[in-house]
Structure 1
Amino acid sequence: MSIQQLLLSIDELHSFSDNSTFTQNIPVEWIESALTLSSKATIRRRRLPEDQVLWLVLGMALFRDESIEEVARRLNICSEGLSSEQLIAKSGISQARQRLGSNPMQWLFQRTGEHWANERFAKDDWQGLQVFAIDGVIFRTPDTPDLQAHFGNASNATAKQSAYPLLRCVALMNTHSHVILDAQVGDYRTAETPLAEAMLDKIPDRSITLLDRNFWSANLMHTLMNGGNDRHWLIPKRSNAVYEVVEEYGNGDALWRMTVSPQARKKNPKLPTYWDVRAVTYEVQGKPKTVLTSLPHSDYAADQIALLYQQRWEIELGFRDIKSSMLNNAITLRSKTVDLIYQEMWGMLLAYNVVRREASHAAAAHGQRASEIRFKMAFTYIASNLIVMAAAKPESKTGMRLKDLRSGICNLFLEQKKARPNRPRMVKQSKTRYPVSRNAVSLK
């Protein structure tokens, strides 16, 4: 199966039926395609087929500590005309990745994410609504002139720039399964709000989206709420918010009227001059916190809304899993050109979704939540099993391997989800590699 056929098959709804191998575990389909292509290898043609390059990019995310050549060897990826024992030249892998480009990886991630993040499991909904979260994350790229020019650097008040170019990613994540429905990737100079606005059409009906206070935007909120049926949002109040109390529903529950800024109305003339939002105020460690929402007072209790906002931290845990477990805290991406940086990012997000989706199905089979599975152990378990699958013979039974894989994942549940430690936030002193003398004298 060529990569074009593979991508086109995803667009058909029947390919996501229960009997589809692609639905159950996307890497298995790639592995089978790679093994089939290897069996058809010719002596003359030695270019690495695009099907295997796509699988190789995914493998780069699964085995971050290994060189790309070692990833190809582990996953039994070889050029046509070469046996699996013969290593592919590093230049050949680079040229093959350049031929593939970033667009196929982006399209494949977004299409599968749209289907996987909308899968419904028991215990996932909140009062009949799917729960999503939007937030941003930063990744470093190698320090080259081309990457510097394209992605840009962070700077502070002293005009000092960050040591590496920075890539900005804004993701839309299902807070229960932790599967990323969509993501927008761009340079550091692009703000998070425009990237978030580009994903609003992907949010399904009958849902609520949790946002950080930095995403406060009348245009974003109105577009989200009016772009579908029964789509809601929940966001903390900004400290400089100006409002008028229209109605008191109860203790800590009120209807506020807020003026839409002239700048926002100039950007979107369809915005009203003012808008009414519901404000829910509650206490956290003796301090008042207020969240604003579009949820109506008649259908949703204030105390439940206060508890719901805690789920916004689930997307932070997802970013932690990507950086800590998948990248092993090596947050500098390994590619050296702009297009390959994007290709690597889409491959990494797709690999993350594969692990999350397998964990979701394994948890659902045992009546558990996907968030109760240890991501790092599930990630390691799946990656090691994919190596075994890659070395398996083409005629081996894929369904049996999937059954064994999911059975093993079910043994990785957390015993009990511990509460977050209660520590005050502080700025820690940066560590230094050089020893500090005990007899050092501070100069005044």
Structure 2
Amino acid sequence: MSIAQDLNTVLETAGQSLARLDVLAEHIPVEWIEAAATLAEQASIRRRRLPSDLVLWLVVGMAFFRGEPIAEVARRLNICSKGLANEVLLANSALSKARQRLGKEPASWLFQQCANVWGYERYPKDHWHELQVFAVDGALFRTQETPQLRDHFGAGNTSSERQTPYPVLRLVALMNVRSHVLANAAISPYRRGEIPLAAEFVEAIPAHSVTLLDKGFFSADLLLNIQNGAANRHWLIPERKGLVSTELLRYGDGDRLLQMRVSPQARKKNPTLPEHWQVRAVTYEIQGKEKTVFTSLPSEQFSAEQVATLYHERWEIELGFRDIKSSMQDNALTLRSKTVDLVYQELWGLLLGYNVVRREASQAAVAHQRAPCEISFKFACQFIASHLVVMAAVLSPSHTPRRLKELRGSIGTLFIKKCPRPSRPRAVKMSKTRYPVDRNAAPLK
């Protein structure tokens, strides 16, 4: 008997039936939840009022209700003792201890399991000349200000050599550009760079694909690993200024084959790297300025204009990060957790919740014969969050498939018209506070 059936049996003894675990089972099979729950750091033989499988649902639910206390999230999703025979609400401390027992591994494993399936799915017309399009980029998240979090995650430095006001952790993600689903991700303290994090999952990029990267990922080791790791696997990245190169061949105006020397430092780290490597350089003009991108896409199959146009899609991963921080986190200054493991757990749950919305939107788009990226993420997220509350109410499990079908049909009304992105020059963001934190400063008296 499944966990959902066990729980419904308990609830039926009180004259009620709950379809909560069926709500997202359309995407997250119960078997995956059970497997993730076995990874809990503190296993328990006895059946607690908040077992690991229910706490996992709570962690995912936290991603949809950032402005609500965790106890309210549990109440909204009916992840509590209310409705059982004793009708006793769980204390806030019980929710915190349950999350601590769960640890970070189950949420991380569940995200990776879902991402490995959802992130590489193909949708009609989601390819670019028979190639799947992916993007790699990084984002930073602030945490609460505690000595433990600052010691673990670290922070950047300001111009006055003082540390930034809040501890910072780094996320590097691989996104399916056309569906906006995250196919992989790595999280670490701030001090670890983006390139080592990206190197953890580039092997998972499938064959017959092209990966778009920001210029901060320029590395012969990383790019050659993408290029040589699988058949017909390519990359595209902006030119790095100041590189010394030799022109070997000119394909046409603004289209050249260059040869560059691999740095001794890179070859020392990876002795298998060649002394020289070749890249295709495509130069084009946009708004009166010349831009150059490097790529491994062959000139025989892809024109310079096609390459230049494709790179503009790299912005889609920036939009994905905006959706996470703005639409799901409500532009919150920091994550809500206050211990190291719970910070990791919260962020993995946030990424999983984001993927749930994106996959549901993608499925709705296919049903309406539209592109997945044409659905407004903000409204889809709000719509799904409101339906989670409704579905977590007292409903018969037999009603769940019908409600999911209605939900998907309703999401189809949230399509947006794609417009050209307005030109906004990059600018340094304002600090959240004008008083950076100095760890060595004397305490106030």
Q: TM-score range by the shorter chain?
A: 0.7 to 0.9
Q: Does the aligned pair in 1 maintain the 2:221–2:273 contact within 8 Å?
A: yes
Counterpart of 2:300 in structure 1: which amino acid?
S
Matched, 1:337 2:339: yes
Query: Could you tell which deviates more after superposition, 104-113 or 394-403?
Result: 394-403
- Using the size of structure 2 for normalisation, the TM-score is 0.86
Query: Could you tell which deviates more after superposition, 361-370 or 125-134?
Result: 361-370
Taking the aligned partners of 2:291 and 2:370, their CA distance within structure 1 comes to 31
Taking the aligned partners of 2:284 and 2:332, their CA distance within structure 1 comes to 39
Matched, 1:122 2:124: yes
- Deviation sequence 1:165-198 (CA, Å, 0-9, x none): 0010000000110000010000000011100000
> What is the SS of the residue equivalent to 1:63?
coil
- Residues 86 and 30 of structure 1: is their aligned pair in 2 closer, same or farther, counting only changes over 3 Å? farther
Query: How far did residue 85 of structure 1 move?
Result: 5.0
Q: Does the aligned pair in 2 maintain the 1:76–1:84 contact within 8 Å?
A: no
- Deviation sequence 1:11-63 (CA, Å, 0-9, x none): xxxxxxxxx9977333999999xxxxxxxxxxx96531111100000011111
Query: How far did residue 426 of structure 1 move?
Result: 4.2
> What is the SS of the residue equivalent to 2:160?
coil
Counterpart in the other structure of 2:237: 235
Taking the aligned partners of 1:410 and 1:309, their CA distance within structure 2 comes to 28
Give the RMSD, CA atoms, in angstroms: 2.5
Q: Does the aligned pair in 2 maintain the 1:49–1:79 contact within 8 Å?
A: no
Counterpart of 1:48 in structure 2: which amino acid?
L
Matched, 1:251 2:253: yes
Counterpart in the other structure of 2:137: 135
Taking the aligned partners of 1:31 and 1:264, their CA distance within structure 2 comes to 41
Taking the aligned partners of 1:431 and 1:102, their CA distance within structure 2 comes to 28
- Residues 400 and 84 of structure 1: is their aligned pair in 2 closer, same or farther, counting only changes over 3 Å? farther
Counterpart of 1:408 in structure 2: which amino acid?
S
Counterpart in the other structure of 1:7: none
Equivalence map 1:258-277=2 (5 Å)? 258-277=260-279
Matched, 1:109 2:111: yes
Counterpart in the other structure of 2:299: 297
Query: Could you tell which deviates more after superposition, 422-431 or 194-203?
Result: 422-431
Counterpart of 2:390 in structure 1: which amino acid?
V
Taking the aligned partners of 1:56 and 1:151, their CA distance within structure 2 comes to 25
Counterpart of 1:192 in structure 2: which amino acid?
E
Query: How far did residue 396 of structure 1 move?
Result: 2.9
- Residues 200 and 389 of structure 1: is their aligned pair in 2 closer, same or farther, counting only changes over 3 Å? same
Counterpart of 1:158 in structure 2: which amino acid?
S
- Residues 88 and 432 of structure 1: is their aligned pair in 2 closer, same or farther, counting only changes over 3 Å? closer
- Residues 329 and 77 of structure 1: is their aligned pair in 2 closer, same or farther, counting only changes over 3 Å? same
Equivalence map 1:393-408=2 (5 Å)? 393-408=395-410
Taking the aligned partners of 1:216 and 1:30, their CA distance within structure 2 comes to 36
Taking the aligned partners of 1:114 and 1:31, their CA distance within structure 2 comes to 15
Equivalence map 1:31-430=2 (5 Å)? 46-79=48-81, 82=84, 86-414=88-416, 416-427=417-428
- Residues 272 and 62 of structure 1: is their aligned pair in 2 closer, same or farther, counting only changes over 3 Å? same
- Deviation sequence 1:202-235 (CA, Å, 0-9, x none): 1111111000001000110111111111110000
Query: How far did residue 430 of structure 1 move?
Result: 6.5
- Matched pairs, number: 406
Counterpart of 2:27 in structure 1: which amino acid?
N
Counterpart of 1:96 in structure 2: which amino acid?
A
> What is the SS of the residue equivalent to 2:63?
helix
Q: Does the aligned pair in 2 maintain the 1:46–1:79 contact within 8 Å?
A: no
Structure 1: 5+ residue stretches without partners: 4-19, 33-43, 434-444
Equivalence map 1:19-38=2 (5 Å)? 24-26=26-28
Query: How far did residue 82 of structure 1 move?
Result: 4.8
Query: How far did residue 388 of structure 1 move?
Result: 1.0
> What is the SS of the residue equivalent to 1:391?
coil
- Residues 430 and 349 of structure 1: is their aligned pair in 2 closer, same or farther, counting only changes over 3 Å? closer
- Using the size of structure 1 for normalisation, the TM-score is 0.87
- Bigger relative contact order, structure 1 or 2 (CA pairs below 8 A, ≥6 apart): 2
Counterpart in the other structure of 1:8: none
Taking the aligned partners of 1:91 and 1:59, their CA distance within structure 2 comes to 18
Query: How far did residue 79 of structure 1 move?
Result: 4.3
> What is the SS of the residue equivalent to 1:160?
coil
State the percentage of identical aligned residues. Answer: 59
Taking the aligned partners of 1:260 and 1:395, their CA distance within structure 2 comes to 60
